[in-house]
């Protein structure tokens, strides 16, 4: 039988919900996870995979970092390609030894799912019609349908880790919530292929034809992106058309090294900047995409979710161990200070690297001039590096 009472009810079994559940379990705090989709569906979602140190450390703290350290690729720099030339930003050298790790979000999610299954912790997949109740009291409840029956879980707290379209943020009182949003007039066409990467590090491309990104999942699996109009349909993009357009946006060295092959997955994702304030409504808390979305240009989405989870798990542990509500009272403000800094960087980097349909050629020249300044200035390179690897947590205190 599904549990009827727990300390923390977590809505959503994406990486933020699973990571929160694992950290709470390690601290001896009961939790139940409800997920609208099946486990296979959750694992089928192809997402980014550039991890900051805060995310790496939390995976280790949760006891699920072994495969990540074995298979993840540590990157000490990124390359910016504009005006037909590449310029390396030395992340490691400019930040006092910090790096990022490339490890697919799908693999991170798989590690967390398997750890939860191995520990026998409760998780309900295909939980339909989830609703949250009485979160403005000390006795919140979560109701859902599963297996043809209606179930209810009484809890001390609700963690809304159910994404941008989830029920938790939608259930917050409209008069108590402010939402900020910017929708960008293009999307990212992504292609995953079992081909060696075009470069050992990520290559961000500013081209007159539009943005491109050469990324990777392993030394034999690549992930590439092209900026495309929002009106484009995935059916219109054959593999051959994708590879041809990517070649047109690369430099000579990239074209020479590019290995093409059949796509494993292909999709078009819209870009938006979105922030909800606050992230707490009584005894319901929002974390991850439920509270904020960033354009993927700055690789901040998963890492911001991990920071939310770090603060939220710490607040819950403090409450259940000492009775102090300091952590839960300050959760929203602490997260939002860091969120807005990451949102700003992601917006700035997106504006710098993409071509906007309403802009004329002069804006492209402005971008190239700014990029030329940045890569030839130590202060400019350091600004990119510090933000890309993730600002220290004490910046948000």
Task: Point out the residues that are catalytic.
Answer: 75, 204, 296, 300, 388
Distance, in Å, from the CA atom of 116 to the CA atom of 10, rounded to the nearest integer, reads 13
Radius of gyration of the chain (CA): 21
Distance, in Å, from the CA atom of 360 to the CA atom of 347, rounded to the nearest integer, reads 20
Strand partners, 33: 10, 123
Token pair in block for residue 287: 């974390």
CA nearest neighbour of 166 among 272, 276, 330 = 276
User: DSSP strand E in 83-237: where?
Assistant: 85-89, 100-102, 123-124, 128-133, 141-146, 149-154, 157-160, 178-193, 203-206, 212-216, 222-229
CA 88 → CA 196, 297, 376, 379, distances in Å?
Answer: 20, 17, 10, 14
Token pair in block for residue 42: 């959750």
- Cβ atoms of 263 and 193 within 8 Å: the answer is yes
- Cβ atoms of 211 and 248 within 8 Å: the answer is no
> 């727990």: which residue's tokens?
6
Q: Degrees (nearest 5) of the Cα angle 292, 296, 301?
A: 40
């Amino acid at each position: 039988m599904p549990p009827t009472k727990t300390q923390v009810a977590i809505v959503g079994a994406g990486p933020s919900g699973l990571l929160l559940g694992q950290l709470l379990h390690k601290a001896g705090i009961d939790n139940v996870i409800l997920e609208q989709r099946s486990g296979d569906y959750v694992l089928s979602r192809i997402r980014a995979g550039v991890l900051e140190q805060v995310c790496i450390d939390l995976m280790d703290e949760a006891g699920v970092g072994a495969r990540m350290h074995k298979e993840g690729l540590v990157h000490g720099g990124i390359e910016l390609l504009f005006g037909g030339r590449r310029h390396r930003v030395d992340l490691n050298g400019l930040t006092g030894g910090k790096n990022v790790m490339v490890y697919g979000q799908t693999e991170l999610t798989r590690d967390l799912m398997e750890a939860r299954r191995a520990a026998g912790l409760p998780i309900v997949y295909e939980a339909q019609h989830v609703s949250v109740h009485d979160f403005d009291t000390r006795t919140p409840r979560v109701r859902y349908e599963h297996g043809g029956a209606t179930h209810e879980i009484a809890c001390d707290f609700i963690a809304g880790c159910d994404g941008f379209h989830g029920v938790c943020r939608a259930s917050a009182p409209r008069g108590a919530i402010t939402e900020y949003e910017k929708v960008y007039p293009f999307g990212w066409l992504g292609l995953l292929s079992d081909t060696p990467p075009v470069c050992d590090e990520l290559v961000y491309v500013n081209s007159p034809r539009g943005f491109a990104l050469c990324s990777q999942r392993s030394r034999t699996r690549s992930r590439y992106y092209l900026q495309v109009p929002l009106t484009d349909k995935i059916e219109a993009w054959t593999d051959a058309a994708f590879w041809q357009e990517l070649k047109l946006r690369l430099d000579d060295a990239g074209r020479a090294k590019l290995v093409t092959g059949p796509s494993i997955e292909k999709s078009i994702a819209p870009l938006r900047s979105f922030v909800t304030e606050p992230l707490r409504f009584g005894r319901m808390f929002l974390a991850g995409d439920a509270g904020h979305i960033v354009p993927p240009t700055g690789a901040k989405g998963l890492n911001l979710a991990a920071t939310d989870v770090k603060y939220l798990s710490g607040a819950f542990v403090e409450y259940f161990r000492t009775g102090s509500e300091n952590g839960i009272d300050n959760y929203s403000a602490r997260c939002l200070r860091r969120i807005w800094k990451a949102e700003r960087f992601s917006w700035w980097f997106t504006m710098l690297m993409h071509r906007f349909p309403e802009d004329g050629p002069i804006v492209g020249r402005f971008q190239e001039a700014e990029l030329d300044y940045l890569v030839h200035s130590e202060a400019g390179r350091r600004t990119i590096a510090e933000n890309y690897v993730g600002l220290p947590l004490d910046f948000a205190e």
